[in-house]
Amino acid sequence: MENPAITRPSRHHAILFGCLLLAVLVIAAEALRWRAAHRATATAGAVPSLTTSNPGRVTLTELSHAHIPAPRGMPSAHASTLAALPGNRMLAFWWAGSRESGPDVKVFASTWANGAWSAPSMVVSRESLGAELGFGVRRIGNPVAWTDRAGRIHLYVVATGLGGWAAARIAHLVSQDQGKHFHVRRILPTSPLFNTSALVRTAPLALSDGGWWLPVYFEIGNKYPMLMAFDADGNPTSLARIGNSTSTLQPALVAVSKHEVRAVMRDDSEQQLVQHAASVDGGATWQDLPALNLPNYSTSVAAIRLTSGQFLMLHNHVEGGASARSILRLSISNDMRTWRTIADIAKGPAGDEFSYPSMQQVGDELHITYTWQRQAIAHHRYRIQPEGTT
């Protein structure tokens, strides 16, 4: 006989309970995260890191120049990037294949040690990337590398979805063994439009807490620069736009002081000058500045702050009958505003291409790599000396 005192819980009560449970779950999850994040931000204040030794003017003396050994059967090479290794060693990454956007394009790496480059090794292909991501990658593009304080190499690689470079995403790979093996950490979320049209090209900027800023840019129609901040473990912490311009891309970030950061950028406007933006609050907000008085016919630039405190920029100069990328010039500045030419690193007749430069200071040496005629990656090495010394 049925006991009238014991009734099945009504459907309404079950729904009521379920809803309350889910709402409490959301509140609890967010509260726990907020608590953890609050603790982390209380102990870390991420401002650009400045390493200064022997402040003052410097002179540069070329020590050597050569091509990094190319992978066999890969006639096209482009977009090199450098990462420091312990013991004054370096890693160079670039992409190579039959042609830009070709299905056989892969990212290769070579190690600089004892004054020579190692044979290139394949790091990532669209097949290997797709296998780890669980979805397809149509083509591989620019790599950007960074060595964190723990010695891990972080490699950011442009990987496109359905479409051209405007459908690009950024894959984040990490190596725990100084570049011998990489595993995919994730695709970085940068856009609500199927997470497409975000690319990397220029080198990250170190932060005082061990983190770094990765320069990123968007390029469907309008082109604008962004930066993604990472903590010391390589986890993204924020994403922000640099300035309000809609015709600049490939920002090269340089710290002027702990709170002042400048971005020099490729110009996609009719002005055809190196574009310029600044942040005076540690990267929280950015203001577009007047362009520098340096020509830029839509080509990538590289900039660093030397440990002496001076600034170097590699940029394509245009004069006389030169074409957009036929002169690669190295310039120096004390204030990021007025630039003086040091040397033309590479120069050829109109139509030649010396482009997409990268720079790295390793001890008292400056290493420069760039694309040579879209066929190889060239490497130049300079001795950095205080002015007046021999």
Partner 1 sequence: MILPDLASQIVYGRIGWAIVAATVVCALWRRAAPMPRATLAAIVAGALALMALPGNLSPAWYLGLAFQYPSGLLVGCCLLRLTQRWNGLRRSQAMPRTLAGVLAGAGILLYLDALGVLTSGYYYAGFGGVVAPLAAIVLAIACAAAIMLTHARGHAAAVLGAVVLFSVLRLPTGNLWDALLDPLLFGWALVALLAGARRRAGRQTSGRVPANDGEPVPGAALQPLAAEHFSSLKEQVGGQ
Q: Which residues bind partner 1 (CB under 8 A)?
A: 15-16, 19-20, 22-23, 25-27, 29-30, 33-34, 37, 41, 130-138, 161-162, 169, 184-187, 189, 191-195, 218, 220-224, 235-241, 244, 246
Minimum distance of partner 1 from residue 16's CB (angstroms)? 5
Q: Which is it for the CA torsion 115, 49, 254, 231, positive or negative?
A: positive
Minimum distance of partner 1 from residue 105's CB (angstroms)? 16
Minimum distance of partner 1 from residue 299's CB (angstroms)? 21
Which residue lies nearer to partner 1 by CB, 189 or 363?
Answer: 189
Minimum distance of partner 1 from residue 195's CB (angstroms)? 5
Which residue lies nearer to partner 1 by CB, 130 or 210?
Answer: 130
Minimum distance of partner 1 from residue 183's CB (angstroms)? 9
> 3-state class of 14 per DSSP?
helix
Minimum distance of partner 1 from residue 252's CB (angstroms)? 20
Which residue lies nearer to partner 1 by CB, 166 or 343?
Answer: 166
Task: Give the closest residue to 256 by CA, choosing from 290, 289, 231, 281.
Answer: 281
Quickly tell me which residue has 């890191």 as its tokens: 49
Which residue lies nearer to partner 1 by CB, 125 or 195?
Answer: 195
Which residue lies nearer to partner 1 by CB, 20 or 350?
Answer: 20
Return all residues near 208 (Cβ < 8 A) that are at least 6 apart: 45, 46, 47, 48, 49, 258
Minimum distance of partner 1 from residue 15's CB (angstroms)? 6
Which residue lies nearer to partner 1 by CB, 13 or 337?
Answer: 13
Which pair of structure tokens corresponds to residue 200?
A: 């990397």
Q: How far is the C-alpha of 89 from the C-alpha of 93, rounded, in Å?
A: 14
Which residue lies nearer to partner 1 by CB, 267 or 352?
Answer: 267
Q: How far is the C-alpha of 86 from the C-alpha of 362, rounded, in Å?
A: 10
Q: DSSP letters of 135-156?
A: S----EEEEEEEE-TTSPEEEE
Return all residues near 322 (Cβ < 8 A) that are at least 6 apart: 350
Which alpha helices (H) appear in the chain, and where do they start and end?
Answer: 11-43, 126-133
Q: How far is the C-alpha of 384 from the C-alpha of 306, rounded, in Å?
A: 9
Minimum distance of partner 1 from residue 21's CB (angstroms)? 9
Q: How far is the C-alpha of 370 from the C-alpha of 143, rounded, in Å?
A: 13
DSSP one-letter code for 273: B
Minimum distance of partner 1 from residue 177's CB (angstroms)? 20
Q: How far is the C-alpha of 377 from the C-alpha of 81, rounded, in Å?
A: 10
Which residue lies nearer to partner 1 by CB, 20 or 63?
Answer: 20
Which residue lies nearer to partner 1 by CB, 32 or 350?
Answer: 32
The number of residues making up the chain comes to 390
User: Letter for the amino acid at 96?
Assistant: A
Which residue lies nearer to partner 1 by CB, 38 or 72?
Answer: 38
> 3-state class of 183 per DSSP?
strand
Q: DSSP letters of 308-367?
A: TS-EEEEEE---TT--TTSEEEEEEESSSSS-EEEEEEEE-STT--EEEEEEEEETTEEE
Minimum distance of partner 1 from residue 371's CB (angstroms)? 27
